[in-house]
Structure 1
């Protein structure tokens, strides 16, 4: 079980035991997500993360289906391919009633669930497959602790609000909690038909089923219920039909990718379904929330990188991310939230603890990379779509972000962007590796702030190059030339300060005394992606990243195995992150290291074959691949995680050498290659603009990949460089 203990790292996710035995099932829609066990129950076991959550609060913490007091026997449990429907097949356990034994396998229980607009809809269908009438006593236990997600993660609170008495009618139960923030949060559970007996924490039924007879029950959980209407018995089917329609519409915004490898097709389908599930429609458009359970909320860095990974597949996500982050861009100084004018959001949280500022993450700006990455995404989106009208709309936000880079980001004026937290309870490390021990020197001592990490300088370089291109598009050649010169000078200065000749690698960071952290870390792979690396340096870095100290057979570790703090079971010091590998592969492809990019894709693909539902998790352990054994999972990794799900698109793009230049109406394939497990890739409805698209086929032969166009609509030019 999970217990609360004091730890040095303030926002460490406690794991005092394993996850619950067997699988877990995740549903999400909008601001609501749920984690069930394989039975479809919610149990206080494992890490204690099961429940139905809405806007940062757990609105249901217990759900327990029992037959004659015992758990039913599990037959099967799965999500459908679109992720919207959980289906669980169960059968009754052996039980005695009125002096008669009812054998197991007499009653089949088909349990389905989905989430829509703050509600969890569940349907139970019981079917008697025995030859005699069967009395089936069953109960549904329920409860709500209304814990904030940070409490579930393990953060200890000095005080909590008050759980109010449960109000029960003949067919509903209303559970309530009065928070310290003055907000009363309510969960309503509706039962149809009404139970034979409904108590404050349990509903009881006892139907008698004739042979082959079926009976159906509906249970609906409404989160944040204040004046919610009663759920009718026929609502389940009507609402599920609405869900199907919404998903069909979401799928249309993606291009269609089919290969000759069934497993890779499954990985692509799961990734797309995960991304659709994780994407929440905000007032600014679609935004991919980061991950379930701990990060189901908008994160600036995560949203931007997810959008970059899938930009060629679905540029609508990038537009939504840019719109949301422009709207939430900081406009004043606030040390409590690490906000500075022009800075881009790190994360936004709802819930009681955020409202009370017990945590600083209501609207928190403590990331050093979100701001330059915002500019990078703006430029990449324009290159992909040629949407000049949208670019003009967010251009003031781009300029404010550039101003932050040059002023607050480079507070000491040395030409590099550094970070140091200003909030007393903010994040110590503010790059993507944000655990407290992730930036260190070769002897293992932690770097002191302010810290300039290598990949951020690359992001800034890329931001200025892309901003220069955007300035040209908007008719400002003077600014464009100035930005190009700034990028050139930064690249030169970066090589002088970060390159470690004896390591043949970029230093992980410069500490507050400008001493290089002489550590080989995957961060340097991001310097390939951004283009700040020189071709000569890129050659050395690629060689290291695919050597045994980094490459495990499953992917590239976050730090080399010969570094002082290397630990393959750690969060950031030796683990494997799919999104990290995707950015590395994109960087390798950019510098012409196609075979190395293929190796990265091969490793991540092979790892996915062993993952539940073929779902790539946030991270997994960085142990070396051992024969035909599976990769080692990380115990508190989020799954699904948006930038992990989107990584497969960037990995494939990197191997194909694919880019889309919308202003020229070009789809480009530069030195395309395919991994050994793919002989054919068909991409349909690959759009350039709303009026132009193409269907293309890539085929691999022994030493060559051909690209064929099977359909064109509008002005499309296919450019192939071999």
Structure 2
């Protein structure tokens, strides 16, 4: 996903390894923690990361010289806390006596807040006798760059100093090749009986029935000694901040479906976890662990999925990306004036240009999506004040589309990486093998992707609409460009013999006639003629694409099809959601409800948290969907998928300029007979909507309407 350094392991290749599905993540802004089910960090894909550097690579707890027996573990429903409950194995003799297994309850509870990990280890003696409890922690900090952790080899690294320690803390120090000194400090509330540069040993005396707490903190700078007061104060702050993020915008509930509500709650909590409140506003980071940073495409599409419920995400994304719009040409960064950022990173390798992702622009679609989202945001909110602020950036983006996006003058947006360090494929399917001809051969560049033309079409249409409201004289030109592009796509990408669109055109203008889910994105933009949209929808709903858990990224039977691959036959929830929303735009409401129900079924097998992707095998009775072993969990646009599909199923659209909420032929998935939307704001007005299945129809009842707002219902 999202950059050329993503893990491209297939499920077969990853067989037998731990897999990220067993790792649990916490996050706050640019700091995140990934640990196993015991809460241990072992130096694999786990660790405590700050600004794309791993500042704690090892933290392993033993009780009585052994790893405790885990009883249960997981994250809290609001994603603030990780908790592991465990018990002791037989303890070694102390003072002539040994304690049997299962008498000590050991709870590890932690959270991440304000660039620090806070942990409380609570030990309770449930035995009949007093216990001497040996507890030890092994630790270390390798200061590895996020790209090193992901497998990129470095010829040389900076200088790690010998850790220093005093009675309660250990400080690690690393001077990078970029001459930046990076530090981290691991602190304990109690002085260990023995403390070295890599190990802390404690010996606690616990009378029967008593409990004892040990507090631990780790961050890039030293702080006060950990204690219960610091723990509680910071825990309250972390929980309140998360609660504020979760409560933004309208809410959706299914009153008689607690498991469906659990999916909605988990998805909303995951979006809140990944959203960082930046100076420019809230921004959903792409995913943990590999993509915990602002991405252009991911941020735009995640905000678009949530737009009908919470426009503040779109406002924050647009403001952030405008501030980082390219102003110069750089082959290394794949940038030209007006282009919108693809990715930004803060680690040593990015600073040294060992990888180009410090501020990288190698996404062919992000600039078009930026303009299109601005248009969708304006329609949803009526916020022309922000549009006026963004107007110079929107003009610069369209000038990039006109002057740079079309490199060969054929009227289509295309890409070809400017440097070997950049991405070879620059659409959302950016793995090296994701775009190909029917014989599996890779196309010569520049490559014009199908869905990107749809995004550009939506961008030109958005500019025509916004230009009319802004009084810009170029409105007619933008409208003409949209229509010209629409016709070019219909003429050049449509394959009459397949009843489908080609996935791309190569540098010679030849069709890459592979059958992929990219056509669903084209439907989302509203570009295709109705008859062609119906043909595409029918094929997307056929067994070639439909697994029973969602839609595959590539039709079964195509060259390079592999349901265990990253982009060539797997199921990506966001990709399915965009295709579903596109089909619904052309009236396929029942299909939207059907696929929504299938993704809901998949979510029930992933603890109600849809991963970045999963394998594209057909659904079999009594068997769960098959996980992709190195998928990011959570992932922003996977979390947002349910909300976009709900909007599509309900046929709900909002026009703040007209102060109208329109609901066209709403449907609900099988088993979901009621749904409520509360606090839906349009300008300064607000309304609640109650949907209910009556017979073979779904009806809606507006309630609690405040202010000037019209509800228009059509069937």
Q: TM-score range by the shorter chain?
A: over 0.9
Structure 1 counterpart of 2:687: 694
Match for 1:247 among 242, 247, 253? 242
Match for 1:552 among 541, 547, 564? 547
In the aligned structure 2, how far is the partner of 1:21 from the partner of 1:502? 42
Q: Is the 8 A contact 1:11 1:155 kept in 2?
A: no
Structure 1 counterpart of 2:54: 58
Structure 1 counterpart of 2:366: 370
Match for 2:500 among 500, 505, 524? 505
Match for 1:678 among 672, 681, 687? 672
663-672 or 326-335, which deviates more: 663-672
Residue 194 (structure 1) shift: 1.8
Q: Is the 8 A contact 1:458 1:526 kept in 2?
A: yes
How many residue pairs are counted as aligned between the two chains? 706
Is residue 656 of structure 2 the alignment partner of residue 657 of structure 1? Answer: no
Residue 507 (structure 1) shift: 0.3
Match for 1:317 among 308, 313, 319? 313
Q: Is the 8 A contact 2:651 2:664 kept in 1?
A: yes
Deviations, residues 330-380 of structure 1 (Å, cap 9, x unaligned): 011111100000000000011010011000000000000000000010000
In the aligned structure 1, how far is the partner of 2:58 from the partner of 2:260? 37
In the aligned structure 2, how far is the partner of 1:684 from the partner of 1:31? 32
Structure 2 counterpart of 1:705: 698
Q: Is the 8 A contact 2:20 2:629 kept in 1?
A: no
Deviations, residues 1-25 of structure 1 (Å, cap 9, x unaligned): xxxxxxxx76555676522598321
Structure 2 counterpart of 1:177: 174
Structure 2 counterpart of 1:234: 229
What SS does structure 2 have at the residue aligned with 1:157? coil
Structure 1 counterpart of 2:560: 565
Calculate the aligned-residue CA RMSD, in Å: 1.3
Higher relative contact order (CA 8 A, sep 6+): 2
Deviations, residues 410-433 of structure 1 (Å, cap 9, x unaligned): 121111000000022000000000
Structure 1 counterpart of 2:155: 158
Is residue 714 of structure 2 the alignment partner of residue 718 of structure 1? Answer: no
Q: Is the 8 A contact 2:21 2:633 kept in 1?
A: no
646-655 or 260-269, which deviates more: 260-269
Equivalences for residues 479-558 of structure 1 within 5 A: 479-558=474-553
What SS does structure 1 have at the residue aligned with 2:688? strand
Is residue 90 of structure 2 the alignment partner of residue 94 of structure 1? Answer: yes
Structure 1 counterpart of 2:188: 191
In the aligned structure 1, how far is the partner of 2:19 from the partner of 2:555? 32
Structure 2 counterpart of 1:359: 355
In the aligned structure 2, how far is the partner of 1:399 from the partner of 1:519? 34
In the aligned structure 1, how far is the partner of 2:169 from the partner of 2:441? 58
In the aligned structure 2, how far is the partner of 1:10 from the partner of 1:137? 42
Residue 550 (structure 1) shift: 0.6
Q: If the length of structure 1 is used for normalisation, what is the TM-score?
A: 0.96
230-239 or 52-61, which deviates more: 230-239
In the aligned structure 1, how far is the partner of 2:177 from the partner of 2:384? 47
Structure 1 counterpart of 2:461: 465
In the aligned structure 2, how far is the partner of 1:104 from the partner of 1:25? 27
What SS does structure 2 have at the residue aligned with 1:337? coil
Match for 1:300 among 291, 296, 299? 296
Residue 254 (structure 1) shift: 2.8
Equivalences for residues 27-176 of structure 1 within 5 A: 27-44=26-43, 48-98=44-94, 99-176=96-173
391-400 or 231-240, which deviates more: 231-240
In the aligned structure 2, how far is the partner of 1:456 from the partner of 1:25? 34
In the aligned structure 2, how far is the partner of 1:239 from the partner of 1:13? 38
In the aligned structure 1, how far is the partner of 2:541 from the partner of 2:153? 42
Residue 233 (structure 1) shift: 4.5
Deviations, residues 565-622 of structure 1 (Å, cap 9, x unaligned): 10000100000000001100110110001121122212211110000x3111100000
- Going from structure 1 to structure 2, the CA distance change for 1:10 and 1:171 (only over 3 Å counts) comes to closer
In the aligned structure 2, how far is the partner of 1:349 from the partner of 1:251? 26
Structure 2 counterpart of 1:24: 23
Structure 1 counterpart of 2:208: 211
Residue 229 (structure 1) shift: 4.7
197-206 or 145-154, which deviates more: 197-206
Q: Is the 8 A contact 1:685 1:693 kept in 2?
A: yes
Q: Is the 8 A contact 1:22 1:38 kept in 2?
A: no
Structure 2 unaligned spans of 5+: none
What SS does structure 1 have at the residue aligned with 2:319? helix
In the aligned structure 2, how far is the partner of 1:446 from the partner of 1:596? 33
Structure 1 unaligned spans of 5+: 1-8
Match for 2:609 among 610, 615, 636? 615
In the aligned structure 1, how far is the partner of 2:21 from the partner of 2:343? 32
- Going from structure 1 to structure 2, the CA distance change for 1:347 and 1:20 (only over 3 Å counts) comes to closer
Match for 1:646 among 622, 640, 643? 640
In the aligned structure 2, how far is the partner of 1:364 from the partner of 1:117? 27
Deviations, residues 606-656 of structure 1 (Å, cap 9, x unaligned): 110000x31111000001111120001111110100011111100110000
What SS does structure 1 have at the residue aligned with 2:663? strand
Q: Is the 8 A contact 1:193 1:233 kept in 2?
A: no
In the aligned structure 2, how far is the partner of 1:659 from the partner of 1:569? 36
Deviations, residues 517-543 of structure 1 (Å, cap 9, x unaligned): 011100001110001111011111001
In the aligned structure 2, how far is the partner of 1:254 from the partner of 1:262? 21
Q: If the length of structure 2 is used for normalisation, what is the TM-score?
A: 0.97
Structure 2 counterpart of 1:574: 569
In the aligned structure 2, how far is the partner of 1:659 from the partner of 1:545? 24
Deviations, residues 172-192 of structure 1 (Å, cap 9, x unaligned): 110111111111111101100
Is residue 272 of structure 2 the alignment partner of residue 256 of structure 1? Answer: no
